[in-house]
Structure 1
């Protein structure tokens, strides 16, 4: 009897240690994991403006943007389809959080370039981060001959913008875009060189490959010498493999920040609406480490 008691006493600590180890493993499994919220937007642009999406490292986007003439031009202009403004561009992911982009537009024969830096990602779980944040800096240089008397520096304009987005559940994303456009040259002295604005955008996922989108940009101090209007856009995103098709209606001709924020002369609410589309094709030209 004494021998059995001694054996039992020797086994009890081992049983307790095993129980503690099992409990520790179960507690570790129950601890929440940090997850990055993905697919807030499918494209790097919502309609005219940027989204908080950045490209993966080594990904190259080939971008084609079309804006036709006003739909209310009637049958003679085939409801705007006889007229078109176009931008061709490229956007490359240097890392998963830093993009470089360039483009050329038919509007004012403009060249533009930009940098997007995602410095905050929306996360859930152990480390909760409620929003994603991206800093955008861009430059635009029109080369249309009417401005030949201006130097390159005088033609330049710069945009700085903070993009803040949050994805609610699996279907709805909302985004705010406060920013400023600086014009090195303005039409008249009474016009401001710095134009401040606040944009808002949304994306509503309808099916795995279809989403509704919209955006609006309010300018606090627009140009005074020229009648311009705030930009409005509504559209639909269609994703098919490596392509994203974006069909939309907007009152903007240009598709880069300085252009659509300061130069939009059509009033969306008066029916000056243009049909347009964006097409992006992604190529993987680098490797994940």
Structure 2
């Protein structure tokens, strides 16, 4: 159990593992809600509280319900209605999320996930009420979860980035990810509620990458929130005052040669390597200094 806990802490401490972090958050929320509902459902007095949790956390598509619980537009993106939905979302987030991280960085993946389900929620609200106004016979749920929409945003962001990238299945078939994502989106319309939500998420994923290529990052506000949270959680160690020492020229020369030799034989530990990989994930390889590149090279050959 200790090693599992260490792995989880490491996943959240590293800046280049957003896909794993999102999978774990969805898993923890699913298990937590299940246990809370199970506990509250035992008693007849607390059962109404368990029944009302969905109304408070899931997105209500009718206007009065949404106005009563507007915060659900933020919370519903981490709600999975079944184990199968959680399993599909976890696999898709792992496959497609890692590709997004490799190409544009871990922070951009967080942006796409959050913007995906928020945009999909607004899109579904508008669609649901417009369809109801036309009296069309379309079966749509008034209470929805949005984790699927966020995952479809990640999928179609990946497709927009690298449409011809291929997944290898059963050691026999290569299938381009654009066909995989499109097939899942089409099949999701067998349930109109899921189809409309997923279409909204997919549209945001496509739009995000297109705008990013134009130099516009739609996720800047989300990154600002991440930076603010990071500044609160990170405590800077107190500065220490050091007295300068005087050295003769000969001493400085010898010390300089020693430092050069020491640097050439220095092998960074795993923590330093992880920090360098995080920096590459966020800002790209060229953001490394010459010394950092040399250290990473030595670590890879050790």
Regarding TM over 0.5, the answer is no
More helix by share: 2
- Taking structure 1 as the reference length, the TM-score comes to 0.24
- Taking structure 2 as the reference length, the TM-score comes to 0.23
